[in-house]
Amino acid sequence: MKRFVTKAAATAVILGLAAPALATEWNVSVWGKRREFTEHVEKIAELVKEKTGGAFTMNISYGGLSKNTENLDGISIGAFEMAQICAGYHEDKNPTLTAAELPFLGVRDLNEEVAVANALYAHPAAQKDLARWNAKLLMPSPMPQYNIVGTGDPREHLEDFKGMRVRATGGLGEAFKSVGAVPTSVTATEAYNAMESGVVDTVAFAPHAHLSFRTIDQATWWTENLNPGTVNCPVVVNIDAYNALPDAERAALDGSIDEAIAYYIDTYGKLMEKWEKVLAEKGVKKVSYSDDELAKFRAATSGIAGEWVAKMEAQGIPGAELLATIEKALADHRAMK
């Protein structure tokens, strides 16, 4: 974290006047380009600057500070103060967060994603897990259920997934593997080239990523209702930098989270309207699966959560408790509606 003397402050010192407080400047590491997935980061930077009268600013870098798979490492050494990460990029580094990436958790919308993430992030095990990297969980990046785009003949039945090479990470990869597909965990920025070169036949993303990383440009079909799950990509901050903030600046940061998330959700809603138009313009066929096909998919993945819990418990991580935390968060959120 940089705290620097402004020109006005230096002038005040020379003139013997009371100098204003030092300014705070944070570097923020994200990737790709500005898109719906990063709008809460952009918004919180705007809000913090406004609330502190410019005393606390954030420089948001799209790939200039770190690779997306190394953002957590950068946070750990203080290379930058804030970053977006995705649990599925490095499951071994943040195993607790992969609870939210398990298939068919039943999350129906972005508000439920926020409720699940907030409950998971508040759990002591998750906080301890990220603290190993000197990282504090700040806010989620709620994403809708993933679906896949593909080339060639549409995979209209579950048996068509056998041998299908799909870009899918974490729990989603395990879900596709359970029905005979071959998951490949290339990063979002590598997905287009992987699809173009034939390394993968299909790519699993949320709509914003299919647009941003141009996988939709190669697609001939899209699974509109497969909805196997999503990924968990929180925004984290360096603990030392967070603790070093003056009280007013820390309050401005914490107090801007809900507004930034609300802005993100509103922005994503507008994207979904655009998504339907893009599908129509590009002539992408929508593949809709029957209830029976979806039931088969869920049945094939039914053991994944239990295996995940056993794996976590073997590492001393309360896997069953984390899963129960997610289930309770969903129930509590729905009860408030």
pLDDT recorded at residue 4:
55
The position carrying tokens 């606390």 is 56
Model confidence pLDDT, tens digit, residues 181-239: 999 988 889 999 999 999 999 999 999 899 999 999 999 999 999 999 999 999 999 99
Q: How far is 143 from 39, CA to CA, in rounded Å?
A: 12
pLDDT at residue number 269: 87
Residues 41 and 76 in one domain: yes
Give the phi and the psi of residue 150 in degrees, each rounded to 5: -150, 170
CB-based contact 68:189 (threshold 8 Å): yes
| 250-264 pLDDT tens trace | 999 999 999 999 999
Residue 121 domain-assigned (yes or no): yes
Both tokens assigned to 166:
């799909």
Whether 311 is covered by a domain: the verdict is yes
Q: Is residue 266 part of a domain?
A: yes
**Residue 11 scores a pLDDT above 50:** no
Q: Look at 96 and 12; give whichever has higher pLDDT.
A: 96
CB 156 within 8 A of CB 133: no
17 domain residue, yes or no: yes
Residues 195 and 225 occupy one common structural domain: yes
The stretches of the chain forming alpha helices (DSSP H) are 7-14, 39-51, 71-76, 110-122, 124-131, 170-178, 191-197, 207-212, 239-244, 247-254, 257-282, 291-300, 304-314, 319-335
- Neighbouring-strand partners of residue 235: 84, 139
Q: What is the pLDDT of residue 2?
A: 63
Q: Are residues 83 and 190 in the same domain?
A: no
Residue 47's pLDDT band, with cuts at 50, 70 and 90, is very high
How many C-beta atoms surround the C-beta of residue 298 within 10 A? 13
Do both 165 and 250 map to the same domain?
A: no
Residue-number span of the structural domain to which 89 is assigned? 2-141+231-270
Report the pLDDT value the prediction gives residue 226, as an integer from 0 to 100: 94
The pLDDT value recorded for residue 328 is 98
pLDDT given at position 7: 47
Give the residue, 2 or 41, on which the prediction is more confident: 41
pLDDT value, residue 169? 87
Phi, psi angles (nearest 5°) of residue 47: -65, -45
Q: Is the pLDDT of residue 12 over 70?
A: no
Q: Evaluate the CA torsion angle 192, 143, 263, 257 in order and state its sign.
A: negative
CA proximity to 37, closest of 258, 235, 175: 235
Residue 1's pLDDT is 66
pLDDT at residue number 170 = 85
Is there a single domain that holds both residue 105 and residue 45? yes
DSSP structure string for 234-297: -EEEEHHHHHHS-HHHHHHHHTTHHHHHHHHHHHHHHHHHHHHHHHHHHTPEEE---HHHHHHH
Residue 279 belongs to a domain:
no
Residue 21 has pLDDT above 80, yes or no: no
- CATH at 200: 3.40.190.170
Taking CB atoms within 8 Å and a gap of at least 24, the contacts of 45-51 are 47/252, 47/256, 47/259, 47/260, 48/249, 48/252, 48/253, 48/256, 51/252, 51/255, 51/256
The helix/strand/coil state of 227 is: coil
Residue 3's pLDDT is what?
Answer: 62
**81 and 116 belong to one structural domain:** yes
For residue 275, is it within any domain? no
Q: Average pLDDT in the 46-70 region?
A: 98
128 and 25 share one domain:
yes
Kindly state whether residues 320 and 205 are assigned to the same domain. yes
Q: Is 278 domain-assigned? A: no
Antiparallel, parallel or unpaired: β 202-205 and 165-167:
parallel
pLDDT at 8: 43
pLDDT of residue 96: 98
* Rounded-to-integer distance, Cα 214 and Cα 139, Å: 27
Q: Tokens representing 198?
A: 């034939």
Nearest alpha-carbon partner for 135 in 182, 82, 69, 208: 82
Statement to judge: residues 199 and 124 lie in one domain: no
pLDDT band at residue 125 using 50, 70 and 90 as cut-offs: very high
pLDDT confidence bin for 19, thresholds 50/70/90: very low
| Token code pair at residue 55 | 């005393």
pLDDT of residue 34 exceeding 70, the answer is yes
Q: Are residues 124 and 223 in the same domain?
A: no
Name the amino acid, one letter, at 252.
Answer: A
29 shares its domain with 173: no
> For position 321, what pLDDT does the model report?
98
pTM of the complete model: 0.87
Task: Indicate the pLDDT class of residue 6, thresholds 50, 70 and 90.
Answer: very low
Residue 183: inside a domain, yes or no?
yes
Domain tally, the chain: 2
Query: Does residue 302 sit in the same domain as residue 256?
Result: no
